[in-house]
A and B are shown apart, each in its own frame.
Chain A
Amino acid sequence: MAKKQVLVACGAGIATSTVVNGAIEEMAKENNLDVNLVQIKITEVGGYVDSADLLVTTAMTQKEYPFPVINARSFLTGIGTAATKEEILTALQK
């Protein structure tokens, strides 16, 4: 399976995406998934439309992308984390 490129984005690209990035890294390791995590600002997503497989973000986005977009707020609040992880895993295992 080709290495998946996962974009992790928030408004500033420094705070919440750092936490989400850490959570996905851990998840990928647990599940033996080979992912290429790219931590960016949400405004930079446009530069990755041709290469990315998935966008995980804490910021809202109204744009349509050719890859799935998953809201990662649960990694910050602890409410609904299991469901979000499941969603990410499903997207990565496609």
Chain B
Amino acid sequence: MSNIYFNESVILLNLEAASKEEVLKIMGDNLLSYNLVKESFIPAIIAREEEYATGLPTAGVAVAIPHTDVDHVQRKAISVGVLKDAVEFGVMGDDKETIPVRIVFLLAMDESHSQLSLLQQLMGVFQTEEALMSILNEKNKTNIRSLLEEKLDFGVLEGEK
């Protein structure tokens, strides 16, 4: 199994978009350009977000974690998008509420049930206001990469099945 793909090329800063669909299109197109996902990923992730919203009212700044079925993924990746202006995402588990999101963690997962530790660590980041604020205000992609690599321990994945 390949390791997770995560580096500066999938960190998008100052992302300008008018809607969540546009955010997903831009971030999805970027993953597609690195052959990390199939073309079907983009319509699939937009449809999934519409049906099962992923906005989370986290401390300090709201995030969203769009993801979709494994069939659309070529290689496991996490893409980070820091939005120039907040974009409304639906709140997870709620069919009416929306929340202004500034950081999007787009998850391209290549198999079910195999990424528990990484996901738990990612949720750990969401629960740390300081970490989210650092990502939000950081201008340098490499610093964001380092911050997340420190928190997320991507190395763990190599040992997993």
Contacts and interface: CB of A to CB of B under 8 A. Distances in A.
B55 to A, nearest CB: 10
Contact of A59 (B65, B69, B92, B112): B92
A77 B88 CA distance: 17
Interface residues of B, number: 31
Nearest to B44: A12
B119 A73 contact: no
B48 interface: yes
Interface in B43-90: 48, 51-54, 56-59, 65, 67-70
Give the interface size class of chain A. Answer: 20 to 34
A17 to B, nearest CB: 9
A62 interface: yes
A51 interface: no
By DSSP majority rule, is chain B's interface helix, strand, loop, or mixed? loop
B109 A78 contact: no
A13 B112 contact: yes
A76 B67 CA distance: 15
B18 interface: no
Interface stretch (B9-17, B120-128, B144-152): B120-128
A16 B115 CA distance: 10
Given A18-B116, A76-B56, A77-B56, A60 B107 contact: no
A58 B120 contact: no
Nearest to A42: B52
Contacts of B91: 73
